[in-house]
Structure 1
Amino acid sequence: MTPHLTTRWLKLMSLFVVLLGLLVAFGAHPATALPATWLSDIVFWPFDGAQPLEAPAARVLAAISGGVMAGWGAMMWLILDRLMPADPALARLLIIEAILIWFVVDSTGSFAAGAMVNVLLNTMLMLAFVVPAWFVDGRRVAIPS
């Protein structure tokens, strides 16, 4: 992958994380909770409607985790947009380390909660970031926006 293509891919994945965070955060309000409820039901396969986000504790955790996820995606975008051209080695380190920490914590918690589909989804998202970031060259290069 060229540096330009790698950066574009990683920015696209960062935007996906922001949008997924917003979807989860919308689970905090009954009027906008349906997509987050479906996501919750999918990760606790089978898709059977048994995981509604009705409890106030579930709703506040959706708001908090969705907000953190959206902010994390935005931060990754800024690392890629502002830091990658100046210091690709540092940008690569920040992206890979953050993704791996998220992956271990989220997947361990998902496994403990019995959400095995989420572990699979986490693995796919982790690879979508780590594989391209792993091959980022540590030299400073001009990356077009």
Structure 2
Amino acid sequence: MSARISCLPIIDAIDFPARLILDSADWPVDNLFSPLDKETQLLSAIGSGLLAAIAIFLGGIVVPAIREGHWPVIRTTIVAMVVWYVIDGVGSIASGVGSNVIFNSVYLALVLIPLVGAKKSDEAFRVGT
């Protein structure tokens, strides 16, 4: 499924979801029906693939770590998400698309809330991690 989603931006006939996301991030929506250039298609495909990989990582590794209270994984995920947020936000503002920071803030909050609210497991306390 993620391979199909990653290919959406590079197939003109079905790239509407990619155009909608890209145009919404660069508010207001005013280029929705403009075709994507090859560079945008490439970067969108790369970004889609990375997001699919992150979703699998979060679901397969981080969610079980939250359930188990495994703080090394939780802390590393928090740091990784904050680093992504800062780099992406600075890049968005520098490129003139500061509205993307709003979308990123919502996404960051949705990821960080369960991470920050996770409790350490009893075993983690005994081991001293």
Q: TM-score, normalised by structure 2?
A: 0.79
4+ runs deviating over 4 angstroms: 19-25
Q: Which residue of 1 aligns with 2:40?
A: 58
Which piece of structure 1 moves more, 55-64 or 79-88?
79-88
Among all aligned residue pairs of Structure 1 and Structure 2, give the percentage whose two residues are the same amino acid: 21
Matched residue count: 123
Residues 46-96 of structure 1, C-alpha deviation per residue, up to 9 Å, x if partnerless? 111268452111111111111011101111111134434455212311221
Task: Tell me the distance in 2 between the aligned counterparts of 1:102 and 1:47.
Answer: 25
Aligned to 1:68: 50
Instruction: Confirm whether residue 123 of structure 1 aligns to residue 105 of structure 2.
Output: yes
After superposition, the Cα gap between the structure-2 partners of 1:83 and 1:133, relative to the gap in structure 1 and judged at 3 Å, is: closer
Deviates more, 1:126-135 or 1:83-92: 83-92
Would you say 1:83 and 2:65 are equivalent positions?
yes
Q: Letter of the aligned partner of 2:87 in structure 1? A: V
Contact 2:9 2:41 in 1 (8 A): yes
SS in 1 for 2:99: helix
**In the alignment, does 2:27 pair up with 1:27?**
no
Unaligned runs of 5+ in 1: 1-18
Matched, 1:45 2:20: no
C-alpha distance in 2, partners of 1:55/1:105?
A: 24
**1:6: which partner in 2?**
none
Unaligned runs of 5+ in 2: 124-129
Would you say the 8 A contact 2:7–2:45 is kept in 1? yes
Asked if 1:100 is matched to 2:82, the reply is yes
CA contact (8 A) 1:21 1:68 kept: no
| Structure of greater Rg | 2
